[in-house]
């Protein structure tokens, strides 16, 4: 029965991603319409709600047209290489508190025989949890690079190169911002990190700098605006997926929105307490904690959409300066501050929160000061 539970969880993750993507696409169009003071799609179904269905049928019915000059093997492998990591990364997310063994689902799977404490609603409770997520997500860039290369088109190639440079640059800051949380939690397992936050408070209150860095670098890792230089229409036609059509093009869409959903889910699990809500989770059944988790994820997804229609796209040199000269020093400094505060706390039992907050304030001040000085020096050099 344990195998059945695992299979059911795997099916759930794939189904969740495939179901949330059409809703996100509709949401994106609605939010963009709202922000730009227009209606958005409102013709198919009540209020345009059936638009994703119509889009799906259109994508499936469209001819998949591959240009003659492409490298056919990699051209068709690339969208899959992008989608599969997006689907795999959900394996370590704890979606709710463990499903009790005496509940309906627990009885159905006769859980008291193999897991009397309840079935964890998490596909893989592995020792290296968060690192698995990072490893899987970092593979998605192959899809982008290979799509750009296999299309045999200079615009797609430029898009792929931009994407790989960007992902490699921001991966470091992403990893370091997570490291600050791992230092506080003392474990790599996502379910244990969530349980700790239920008792000690959400990590966003201790690690606002890390949370901000994680959110920004997650935008960059998922190639979302304002970091979507890989598909910059004004310069690159359509970017790395210019030569794709029909369902192969839709696969890129699926992967992009799936990645957004999964990085939001990790963000919620690491910084916003996952399925916990200030002690309320003790009193309510497991499916309500699942709803709490989904609600937090949807909140983040809305921020993703909001950011896209609010901020203009970066220039490439700005992107690299932000990644290497702002985000990376800030993330490194934050790790040092966090480690120092924890060391002071453990050796001389200094209060954890004030020390960490003071250190982070000093850090933000230092980074702002150096960036102002740098900008002034740049301005003087360009005048001279």
Partner 1 sequence: MSAWIMAAFMLTAAAGAVMVILYRNPVYSALSLVLTMFALSAIYVMMGAYFIAVAQALVYAGAIVVLFLFVIMLLNLRNQQALKESFGLRAAVGALLGALFIGVAGGTMWAVLSPDQFSKSAEVFKDEGHTESLARLLFKNNLVPFEAVSLILLAALIGVVVLIRFHGRPSSDNSEESNDA
Which of residues 142 and 316 has its CB atom nearest to partner 1 in the complex?
142
# residues contacting partner 1 (CB under 8 A): 27
Rule CB under 8 A: say whether 131 interacts with partner 1. yes
**Is the distance from CB of 196 to CB of 276 less than 8 angstroms?**
no
Closest contact distance (angstroms) between CB of 372 and partner 1 is 19
Closest contact distance (angstroms) between CB of 75 and partner 1 is 12
Binding mask 157-176 for partner 1 (x = CB under 8 A): x--xx--xx-xx--x-----
Here the tokens at position 209 are: 């700098």
- CA 340 from chain centre, in angstroms, equals 28
- Tally Cβ neighbours within 10 Å of residue 164: 17
Closest contact distance (angstroms) between CB of 81 and partner 1 is 10
d(CA 113, CA 374): 64
**Is the distance from CB of 325 to CB of 318 less than 8 angstroms?**
no
Give the residue among 210, 208, 182, 207 at the shortest CA–CA distance from 196.
182
Closest contact distance (angstroms) between CB of 209 and partner 1 is 23
Q: Please select the residue that binds partner 1; options are 135, 343, 361, 369, rule is CB under 8 A.
A: 135
Here the tokens at position 81 are: 């290489």
Q: Which residues contact 146 (CB under 8 A, 6 or more apart)?
A: 74, 77, 78, 81, 160
Closest contact distance (angstroms) between CB of 113 and partner 1 is 23
Which of residues 44 and 131 has its CB atom nearest to partner 1 in the complex?
131
The DSSP 8-state label assigned to residue 28 in this structure reads: H
Give the residue among 228, 275, 271 at the shortest CA–CA distance from 253.
228
Rule CB under 8 A: say whether 335 interacts with partner 1. no
**Is the distance from CB of 85 to CB of 140 less than 8 angstroms?**
yes
Rule CB under 8 A: say whether 139 interacts with partner 1. yes
Closest contact distance (angstroms) between CB of 320 and partner 1 is 12
The stretch near partner 1 (CB under 8 A) out of 42-50, 102-110, 139-147, 192-200 is: 139-147
Give the residue among 150, 109, 365 at the shortest CA–CA distance from 244.
150
Which of residues 133 and 300 has its CB atom nearest to partner 1 in the complex?
133
Closest contact distance (angstroms) between CB of 63 and partner 1 is 27
**Is the distance from CB of 259 to CB of 222 less than 8 angstroms?**
yes
Give me the count of residues in the chain. 384
d(CA 4, CA 296): 28
Q: Please select the residue that binds partner 1; options are 5, 101, 119, 145, rule is CB under 8 A.
A: 145
- Could you say which residues in the range 177-196 bind partner 1, by CB under 8 A? 188
Which of residues 145 and 367 has its CB atom nearest to partner 1 in the complex?
145
Closest contact distance (angstroms) between CB of 189 and partner 1 is 9
Rule CB under 8 A: say whether 138 interacts with partner 1. yes
Rule CB under 8 A: say whether 152 interacts with partner 1. no
The DSSP 8-state label assigned to residue 149 in this structure reads: H
Which of residues 141 and 301 has its CB atom nearest to partner 1 in the complex?
141
d(CA 142, CA 78): 7
- Could you say which residues in the range 72-91 bind partner 1, by CB under 8 A? 74
Closest contact distance (angstroms) between CB of 331 and partner 1 is 16
Which of residues 63 and 127 has its CB atom nearest to partner 1 in the complex?
127
Q: Please select the residue that binds partner 1; options are 35, 44, 54, 126, rule is CB under 8 A.
A: 126
Q: How many CA atoms lie within 13 A of 182 on its CB side?
A: 16
Give the residue among 270, 293, 291, 289 at the shortest CA–CA distance from 280.
289
Q: Please select the residue that binds partner 1; options are 63, 104, 127, 383, rule is CB under 8 A.
A: 127
Residues that bind partner 1 (CB under 8 A): 74, 126-128, 131-132, 134-136, 138-139, 141-142, 145-146, 148-149, 157, 160-161, 164-165, 167-168, 171, 188, 381
């Amino acid at each position: 029965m344990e195998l059945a539970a695992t299979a059911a969880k795997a099916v759930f993750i794939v189904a969740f991603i495939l179901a949330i993507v059409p809703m996100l696409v509709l949401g994106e169009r609605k939010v963009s319409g709202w922000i730009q003071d227009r209606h958005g799609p409102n013709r198919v179904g009540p209020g345009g709600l059936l638009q994703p269905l119509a889009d799906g049928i259109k994508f499936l019915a469209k001819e998949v047209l591959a240009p003659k000059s492409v490298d056919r093997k990699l051209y068709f492998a690339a969208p899959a290489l992008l989608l599969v990591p997006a689907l795999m990364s959900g394996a370590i997310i704890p979606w709710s508190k463990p499903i009790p063994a005496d509940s309906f689902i627990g009885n159905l799977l006769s859980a008291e025989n193999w897991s009397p404490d309840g079935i964890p609603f998490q596909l893989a409770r592995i020792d290296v949890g968060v690192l698995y997520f990072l490893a899987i997500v970092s593979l998605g860039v192959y899809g982008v690079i290979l799509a750009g290369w296999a299309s045999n088109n200079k615009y797609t190639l430029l898009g792929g190169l931009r994407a790989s440079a960007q992902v490699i640059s921001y991966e470091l800051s992403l990893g370091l911002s997570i490291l600050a949380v791992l230092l506080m939690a003392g474990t790599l397992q996502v379910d244990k990190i969530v349980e700790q936050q239920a008792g000690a408070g959400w990590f966003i209150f201790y690690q606002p700098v890390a949370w901000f860095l994680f959110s920004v670098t997650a935008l960059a890792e998922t190639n979302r605006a304002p970091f979507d230089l890989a598909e910059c229409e004004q310069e690159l036609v359509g970017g790395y997926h210019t030569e794709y059509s029909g369902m192969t093009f839709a696969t890129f869409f699926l992967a992009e929105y799936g990645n957004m959903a999964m990085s939001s889910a990790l963000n919620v699990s690491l910084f916003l307490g996952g399925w916990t809500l200030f002690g309320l989770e003790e009193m309510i059944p497991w499916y309500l904690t699942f709803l709490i988790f989904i609600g937090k994820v949807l909140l983040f997804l809305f921020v993703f959409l909001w950011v896209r229609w609010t901020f203009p796209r970066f220039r490439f040199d700005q992107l690299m300066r932000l990644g290497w000269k702002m985000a990376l020093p800030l993330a490194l400094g934050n790790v040092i501050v966090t480690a120092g505060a924890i060391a002071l706390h453990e050796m001389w039992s200094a209060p954890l929160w004030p020390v960490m907050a003071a250190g982070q304030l000093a850090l933000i001040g230092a980074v702002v000061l150096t960036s102002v000085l740098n900008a002034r020096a740049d301005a003087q050099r360009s005048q001279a």
